A and B are shown apart, each in its own frame.
Chain A
């Protein structure tokens, strides 16, 4: 049985610079320290992000992934998208049009899914290998 942890959506502030990024990080920290955090950062209000802001996002992603979780972005404005691209991190994050889409994406590939709980993948793969062996 798969038990999904809820996905937490957090709204990023209008400006993400050194100061606001630190404050935001403090808010996010407890969530990042939980087991398998699943976080969506809603960027719909975000108007400006600088190097420190991008650094903070990368740090959050790293923390989430260390604990087998993930962090996704939603509603990224074209302006923020340009900054992410400029800093070469646009391909690091999964970006969705809306927060709902981002939340839904977690349920498609739940991080809780233990390999043992995924018979389709495991049996399918090894089944094919066995079939190949027999054929040879």
Chain B
């Protein structure tokens, strides 16, 4: 933060802002934005997305989106705006949860919204703005990127890694063109190329999420698990319960309020995210158990990602939706406990809690 402040004090830039958008890739070639801008919203051709963007999935305690916001805050970026695209409406709840401290503003076209905000920023004297699509995990040095942008003296600088362009731009807000032209510029033209020197994981497929966890737990990138490192390589987050007969073999991570029952073994860069339960005797090896998942008794989860009742075997490239709730499922019981806590926290009234007391309700509404 201090480095950027120093830079600001020298009068190079007055204020630096950031717009982080949760949306599909910028269309290539760009859409006819003039048509989209008109009142006819039916022209919005982006199909509805039913999968939560991987950057919004809790990874070692926090989503990549939230970590990105933090990175900007630490760098001293003052005005941060988060935009969500309505094509992600089916997973809006998950996306909102991914950045609880920074509420998203949802709209029909996040790209167009970002362009309009950039145009507006001329007035409140935000000179330079980062425009970031929440997609890849990028170890970006914002100060270095800003310095490079200044040296290039172009309206737009785009970040690249060795595989090609990344969805990170630095835009000279004072010189930003009309929103339509800016979007064309972002998508098509040749801005200044800033090469990211740090670690990049594009998070394009679920296996990339596994790779990010492995790279983090193996200290191959700067992403650090939340919680405390109880012993070398074993990270336990707040409220996690690990039975004394369970074994956590490093490197591994156990998330907030998760429970690892008797005789379980969690090992080989596995991560159990928040509000999960790993039941008696189960082995989790080289796998990610995503938030709010229950893994049943005596199972062997290896080379996989478990999300509720879905299991993706990364090695075989097989995705299963398991109807047998005894194997894997959404963790209804813990969710219930969490919702009761929320009810208390937000004072939703005694009646609701009293009615549900002692009764666990699963996701599908059935009683446990």
Is B345's CB within 8 Å of the partner chain A? no
Query: Bound complex: CA of A51 vs CA of B318, how far in Å?
Result: 18
> Which residues of chain A have C-beta atoms less than 8 A from B317's C-beta?
78
* In the complex, number of A-B residue pairs with CB atoms less than 8 Å apart: 41
Asked if A51 and B326 make an inter-chain contact with CB atoms under 8 angstroms apart, the answer reads yes
Select from chain A the residue with minimum beta-carbon distance to B313: A82
Question: What's the tally of chain B residues with a CB closer than 8 Å to chain A?
Answer: 17
Query: Bound complex: CA of A82 vs CA of B311, how far in Å?
Result: 9
Query: Bound complex: CA of A83 vs CA of B327, how far in Å?
Result: 10
Is B324's CB within 8 Å of the partner chain A? yes
State how many angstroms separate the Cβ of A69 from the closest Cβ of chain B: 27
Asked if B300 and A50 make an inter-chain contact with CB atoms under 8 angstroms apart, the answer reads no
Select from chain A the residue with minimum beta-carbon distance to B296: A51
Asked if B318 and A50 make an inter-chain contact with CB atoms under 8 angstroms apart, the answer reads no
Query: Bound complex: CA of A78 vs CA of B312, how far in Å?
Result: 11
Per a CB cutoff under 8 Å, which of B300, B304, B316, B323 touches A87? B300
> Which residues of chain A have C-beta atoms less than 8 A from B320's C-beta?
79, 82-83
Per a CB cutoff under 8 Å, which of B298, B301, B304, B323 touches A50? B323
Given known A78-B318, A83-B320, contact A88–B313 (CB-CB < 8 A): no
> Which residues of chain B have C-beta atoms less than 8 A from A48's C-beta?
323
> Which residues of chain B have C-beta atoms less than 8 A from A85's C-beta?
300, 302
Secondary structure at the A interface, as helix, strand, loop or mixed, is helix
> Which residues of chain B have C-beta atoms less than 8 A from A78's C-beta?
313, 316-318
Query: Bound complex: CA of A83 vs CA of B298, how far in Å?
Result: 13
Asked if B326 and A86 make an inter-chain contact with CB atoms under 8 angstroms apart, the answer reads no
> Which residues of chain B have C-beta atoms less than 8 A from A88's C-beta?
298-300
> Which residues of chain A have C-beta atoms less than 8 A from B327's C-beta?
50-51, 86-87
Asked if A82 and B299 make an inter-chain contact with CB atoms under 8 angstroms apart, the answer reads no
In the complex, per-residue mask of A60-87: 1 if CB is within 8 Å of any chain B CB, else 0: 0000000000000000001101110111
Query: Bound complex: CA of A86 vs CA of B295, how far in Å?
Result: 10
Select from chain A the residue with minimum beta-carbon distance to B321: A48
Select from chain B the residue with minimum beta-carbon distance to A83: B320
Asked if A79 and B300 make an inter-chain contact with CB atoms under 8 angstroms apart, the answer reads no
Per a CB cutoff under 8 Å, which of B304, B316, B322, B323 touches A81? B316
> Which residues of chain A have C-beta atoms less than 8 A from B300's C-beta?
85-88
> Which residues of chain A have C-beta atoms less than 8 A from B302's C-beta?
85
Asked if A50 and B311 make an inter-chain contact with CB atoms under 8 angstroms apart, the answer reads no
Asked if B316 and A50 make an inter-chain contact with CB atoms under 8 angstroms apart, the answer reads no
Given known A50-B322, A50-B323, contact A82–B298 (CB-CB < 8 A): no
State how many angstroms separate the Cβ of B219 from the closest Cβ of chain A: 30
State how many angstroms separate the Cβ of B160 from the closest Cβ of chain A: 37
The 5 A-B pairs with the shortest beta carbon distances in the complex, nearest first, are: A50-B324, A88-B300, A78-B318, A82-B313, A78-B316
Q: A81-B316, A87-B299, A88-B300 are in contact. List 13 more A-B contacts (CB 8 A).
A: A50-B324, A51-B326, A52-B324, A78-B317, A81-B318, A82-B316, A83-B320, A85-B302, A86-B299, A86-B301, A86-B311, A86-B327, A88-B299
Q: What is A's interface to B at a CB cutoff of 8 Å?
A: 17, 48, 50-52, 78-79, 81-83, 85-88
Q: What is B's interface to A at a CB cutoff of 8 Å?
A: 298-302, 304, 311, 313, 316-318, 320, 322-324, 326-327
